[in-house]
């Protein structure tokens, strides 16, 4: 018999498992609104033109190589990534207080940051919002941290439970780590207002709570890279310390290239240097060094004013298409007279709508309408188009009546 005969079958991942089920469905009507990946109006995956252009110039570059990158990745990519999220005029960058390392997309950045904290920070508790991206608690637990939760979403208002958030973070032990979605909170699409962000900042700083930002959607929420970085820059501006996990999966459409960055903003250049030296010790035994291609694409785009501009235009177009799908879905439900208040569809921002549909309703929609989505009622607006939108509206209508 096999030495692995006792291995039990593991369940599918709650998010990626939706795609597994979708792939098994033979119906031509099937619609995948599970995974957070952008689709065009034609329902196709999109490679940005600016990415194609950058790849072409990489291929044409006679000095191109396929050597190993350093443990910390492509240095220019790291510099440009920090500038992108913190702003070109960020005092932390000018004062050399930021340690940035290239990581395997957002997930890898969270994991490396988590392991660094588990090794070098005095507090293990990391407070994560309820609900959150399903991978957060697992990533931090595997990193050696202790996932705790804070209230974030109020199902009765389908908005932010700001009072619950303040109460829970006020009660967290001093020094605890707090995971914050920089913008376009996943799965709820509900973000604090700028005033609420300022209150959150004051609360965290007053209680010496350490912010760990997850930025997976910069530019995707509003269409503006700067606007979507507002929360983060507010925290950097006060001179305090924080961690930042950045992903280029969504905003450059580089999902499979696995390109992202972890930045740790420190109080001084001296500390940042030591922090970077320890990040290398986290990374080296984990995967040695990160992949070259995605980081080269990003650096090519960010360093060129022309390509950067082209990117912002394409990014805005993706964000705008998602926003228009929100309006169309809302209009379709209004037109059908679907019972209930659906205004949250147009109020929420980013890639997802947290519909408020329950598990049974989701199962019904999958069974009867071949619509695939996560069981918490989250739909990826990026997977919607004018062809499949009526089918979704019919399914929602049937599920709630
Ligand atoms: N964080 C959040 C909130 C996300 O929604 C995602 C992806 O869905 C990620 C991080 C990580 O994505 P990736 O590892 O593909 O960059």
Contact indicator for 177, 146 with CB cutoff of 8 Å: no
Contact indicator for 42, 382 with CB cutoff of 8 Å: no
Active site residue 270: no
Cβ neighbours of 358 (radius 10 Å): 14
Q: Which helix (H) or strand (E) holds 305?
A: helix 305-336
Instruction: Give the distance (Å) from ligand 1 centre to CA of residue 285.
Output: 23
* pLDDT for 200: 98
Residue count of the chain:
401
Contact indicator for 157, 189 with CB cutoff of 8 Å: no
Instruction: Give the distance (Å) from ligand 1 centre to CA of residue 287.
Output: 19
pLDDT digits (tens, 9 = 90+) for 123-140: 999 999 999 999 999 999
Contact indicator for 130, 167 with CB cutoff of 8 Å: no
* pLDDT for 282: 98
Please name which of 400, 391, 401 lies closest in space to residue 332, comparing C-alpha atoms: 391
Contact indicator for 349, 184 with CB cutoff of 8 Å: yes
HSE (CB half, 13 Å, CA atoms) of 215? 31
Question: Could you write out the DSSP letters of every residue in 168-227?
Answer: HHHHSPTT-EEEEESSS-TTT-----HHHHHHHHHHHHHTT-EEEEEES-TTTTTS-TTG
* pLDDT for 92: 97
Spatial distance between the Cα atoms of 192 and 196, rounded to a whole number of angstroms: 5
Active site residue 226: no
Distance of CA 9 to the CA centre of its chain: 29
- Residue with CA at minimum distance from ligand 1 atom 13: 106
- Residue with CA at minimum distance from ligand 1 atom 4: 216
Q: Which helix (H) or strand (E) holds 159?
A: strand 159-160
The neighbouring-strand residues paired with 263 are 100, 244
- What are the tokens at 203? 């609360």
Report the chain (401 residues): mean pLDDT per 10 consecutive residues: 96 86 94 92 95 97 94 98 97 97 98 98 98 96 98 94 98 98 96 98 98 97 96 98 98 98 98 98 98 98 98 97 96 96 94 94 96 94 94 97 93
* pLDDT for 13: 83
The pTM assigned to this predicted structure is 0.96
- What are the tokens at 51? 């990415």
* pLDDT for 42: 93
Active site residue 133: yes
The CA–CA distances, whole Å, from 312 to 11, 51, 183, 229, 232 equal 39, 12, 17, 14, 19
- What are the tokens at 363? 């199962």
Q: Calculate Rg over the CA atoms of the chain.
A: 21
Spatial distance between the Cα atoms of 232 and 182, rounded to a whole number of angstroms: 6
* pLDDT for 35: 81
* pLDDT for 36: 86
- Is any ligand 1 atom within 6 A of the Cβ of residue 216? yes
Instruction: Give the distance (Å) from ligand 1 centre to CA of residue 171.
Output: 28
- Residue with CA at minimum distance from ligand 1 atom 1: 216
Spatial distance between the Cα atoms of 215 and 225, rounded to a whole number of angstroms: 11
- Is any ligand 1 atom within 6 A of the Cβ of residue 257? no
- Is any ligand 1 atom within 6 A of the Cβ of residue 246? no
- Is any ligand 1 atom within 6 A of the Cβ of residue 393? no
Torsion of CA 179, 182, 188, 193, to 10 degrees: 110
Question: Could you write out the DSSP letters of every residue in 101-150?
Answer: EEESHHHHHHHHHHHHHHHH-S--EEEEEES--THHHHHHHHHT-EEEEE
Spatial distance between the Cα atoms of 85 and 228, rounded to a whole number of angstroms: 9
Distance of CA 84 to the CA centre of its chain: 15
Residue 265 DSSP code: E
* pLDDT for 15: 83
Taken in order 269, 271, 274, 276, is the CA torsion positive or negative?
A: negative
- Is any ligand 1 atom within 6 A of the Cβ of residue 105? yes
């Amino acid at each position: 018999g096999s030495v692995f005969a006792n291995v039990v079958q593991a369940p599918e991942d709650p998010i990626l498992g939706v795609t597994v089920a979708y792939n098994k469905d033979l119906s031509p009507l099937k619609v995948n609104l599970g995974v957070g990946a952008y689709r065009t109006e034609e329902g196709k995956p999109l490679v940005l033109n600016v990415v194609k252009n950058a790849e072409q110039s990489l291929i044409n570059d006679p000095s191109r190589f396929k050597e190993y990158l350093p443990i910390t990745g492509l240095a220019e990519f790291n510099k440009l990534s920090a500038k992108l999220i913190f702003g070109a005029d960020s005092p932390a960058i000018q004062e050399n207080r930021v340690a940035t390392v290239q990581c395997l997309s957002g997930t890898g950045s969270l994991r490396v940051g988590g392991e660094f904290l588990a090794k070098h920070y005095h507090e293990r508790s990391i407070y994560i919002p309820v609900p959150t991206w399903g991978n957060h608690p697992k990533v931090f637990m595997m990193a050696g941290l202790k996932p705790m939760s804070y209230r974030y979403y109020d199902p009765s208002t389908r908005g932010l439970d700001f009072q619950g958030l303040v109460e829970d973070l006020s009660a967290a032990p001093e020094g605890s780590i707090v995971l914050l979605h920089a913008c376009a909170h996943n799965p709820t699409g509900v973000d604090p207002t700028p005033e609420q962000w300022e209150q959150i900042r004051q609360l965290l700083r007053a209680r010496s709570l350490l912010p760990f930002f997850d930025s997976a959607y910069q530019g995707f929420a509003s269409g503006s890279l700067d606007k979507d970085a507002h929360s983060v820059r507010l925290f950097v501006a006060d001179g305090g310390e924080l961690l930042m996990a950045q992903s280029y999966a969504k905003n450059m459409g580089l999902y499979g290239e696995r390109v992202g960055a972890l930045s740790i903003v420190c109080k001084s250049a001296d500390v940042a240097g030591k922090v970077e030296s320890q990040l290398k010790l986290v990374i080296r035994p984990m995967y040695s060094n990160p992949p070259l291609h995605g980081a080269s694409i990003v650096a090519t785009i960010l360093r060129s004013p022309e390509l950067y501009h082209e990117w912002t235009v394409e990014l805005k177009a993706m964000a705008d298409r998602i926003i228009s799908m929100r309006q169309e879905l809302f209009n379709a439900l209004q037109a059908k007279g679907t019972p209930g208040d659906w205004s949250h569809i147009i109020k929420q921002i980013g890639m997802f709508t947290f519909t408020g549909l329950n598990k049974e309703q989701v199962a019904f929609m999958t069974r009867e309408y071949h619509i695939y989505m996560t069981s918490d009622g989250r739909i990826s607006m990026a997977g919607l188009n004018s062809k499949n939108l009526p089918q979704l509206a019919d399914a929602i209508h049937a599920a709630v009546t």
